[in-house]
Copies of this chain bind each other. A is one copy, B any other.
């Protein structure tokens, strides 16, 4: 990949971690507090190896931390990566809202201009042939 400017593997993994229902379910449960793998992942209806892989994805994304405690592994949530993901979407939403404002301004300007010169610019509010 030539464009090395916006590369952010952390964000990549954070979003990828959230892109599967089982992983989201695990994160939701861990929101209740530290618990064992069995407690955090029981009842999802998949095999233990499948669970192990999901945990690996979550761990490599930095969303969970594992503490091996004897025979069991205790899992704890790490909120930082999801905070980053949240912040990215939040930043975009700000931009959209600001843009929607200017669009409203634009439409108001169009309305005003039409009120003045009464031309045939029906193209102004045409939302383009909808697919």
Interface residues of A (CB under 8 A from B): 1-3, 6-8, 11-13, 15-16, 18-22, 24-25, 27-28, 31-34, 43-46, 65-69, 74, 76-77, 79, 82-83, 85-86, 88-90, 92-93, 95-96, 99, 103, 128-131
Contact = CB atoms under 8 A, between A and B. Distances in A.
* This chain: copies in complex: 2
A109 B20 CA distance: 38
A6 B21 contact: yes
Contacts of A11: 18, 21, 24
A33 B89 contact: no
A8 B31 contact: no
A83 to B, nearest CB: 7
A77 B115 CA distance: 30
Contacts of A24: 6, 11, 88
12 contacts: A2-B45, A11-B24, A13-B19, A15-B15, A33-B103, A65-B131, A67-B131, A69-B128, A77-B96, A82-B89, A86-B89, A86-B93
Nearest to A92: B31
